[in-house]
Structure 1
């Protein structure tokens, strides 16, 4: 049996894979950055290279 410890950021436009340990958790979903977690209302993008969210 294996344990899942990484998953895609919950932001629909984000391409990042996030560690569950380091993720920002909001409403039961896992995000790679504050920008993604707040739905990009005040923060554009996630700041990770190569990601266009």
Structure 2
């Protein structure tokens, strides 16, 4: 049996893979940062290189 330590950000349009130890957790889901976790309220992306979420 293996333990999952990384998973894709729960934001549907986000391409990031996040370490569960570094993830922002909201409603039981893991996100790569506050922007994704909060649903991009100001229209901003996560800011990670190569990711175009919320654009």
Question: TM-score normalized by structure 1?
Answer: 0.95
Q: Out of 42-51 and 2-11, give the one that drifted further.
A: 42-51
- CA-based RMSD: 0.9
The alignment covers a number of residue pairs equal to 53
How far apart, CA to CA, are the structure 1 residues paired with 2:25 and 2:7?
A: 12
Question: TM-score normalized by structure 2?
Answer: 0.92
Residue 22 (1) aligns with residue 22 (2) = yes
How far apart, CA to CA, are the structure 1 residues paired with 2:21 and 2:12?
A: 20
Structure 1 residue runs of 5 or longer lacking an equivalent are none
Structure 2 residue runs of 5 or longer lacking an equivalent are none
Q: Which runs of 4+ in 1 moved over 2 A?
A: none
Partner of residue 46, structure 1: 46
Instruction: Please state how far the C-alpha of 1:43 moved relative to its aligned partner.
Output: 5.1
